[in-house]
Structure 1
Amino acid sequence: MEDLSLDDFLRRNRELADLSLEQLRGLSESDKHWTARRSFLARNLPHYPRERMDYLVALSMVWANHIFMGCRYSDHLMEKVLDMADGVDVEDAPCFTTRDEIMKQKR
């Protein structure tokens, strides 16, 4: 039996990979939110072994929470997820004003 890397497997079995990603969708996740998070997951899936899948899912949620709800996390974590999301397009992403930006405007 041929020993395939995850990249090779995904290229050869895109439909199967797409179906398995669907299992990671949250019950109350909107189509727009899921489309973006799914792209994040698909982009990074080859870099995470099966036993680290929970970590990848958590990172995808951190990224989605930042994009769609304006949540902030540590600088290190934000740098990591934003780097992981490089190339992921988010259609009609909301724009948030941070507390620090509001405080600067009041001065």
Structure 2
Amino acid sequence: MGDLDIQEFIQQNRALADQVETYRGVSESEKHWDARREFLLRNINDYEDPHMDNLLALSMVWANNVFLGCRYSDELLEKVREMAEGIKVVDAPIFKTRDEIMKKQKGL
């Protein structure tokens, strides 16, 4: 789903979109929320009640990895990356591990 597809989906599924809006964190920026909302909307049919908490947790794992550089197990990251396939995040930060930084400094 691109931006237009998401907007179309929201217009056609107003009640569901309104429900998803209630999951926005008070400190989430527009950029962060737009991406996480798309993640939720893409996967919500697979995680309806009583499993919505699982989807919300997975959406936070994905967003925290993309926007904050948080690290999780390889299996978990693979799962959320598959769930997020096709979501385009503009100007996502690029994070380097301590080992990558140290290796670069030694190479100088």
Instruction: Please report the TM-score for the alignment, with normalisation by the length of structure 2.
Output: 0.83
Aligned residue pair count:
98
Unaligned runs of 5+ in 1: 1-9
CA contact under 8 A between 2:10 and 2:17: conserved in structure 1?
A: no
What CA deviation, in whole Å up to 9, does each residue of 1:29-69 have, x standing for no partner? 11110000000000110111210000100000000000001
- Post-superposition offset of 1:104: 2.6
Instruction: Please report the TM-score for the alignment, with normalisation by the length of structure 1.
Output: 0.83
- Give the aligned partner of residue 3 of structure 1: none
Partners of 2:88 and 2:99 in 1: how far apart? 26
Unaligned runs of 5+ in 2: 1-8
Partners of 2:60 and 2:15 in 1: how far apart? 22
RMSD: 1.9
- Post-superposition offset of 1:13: 5.1
Aligned sequence identity (%): 56
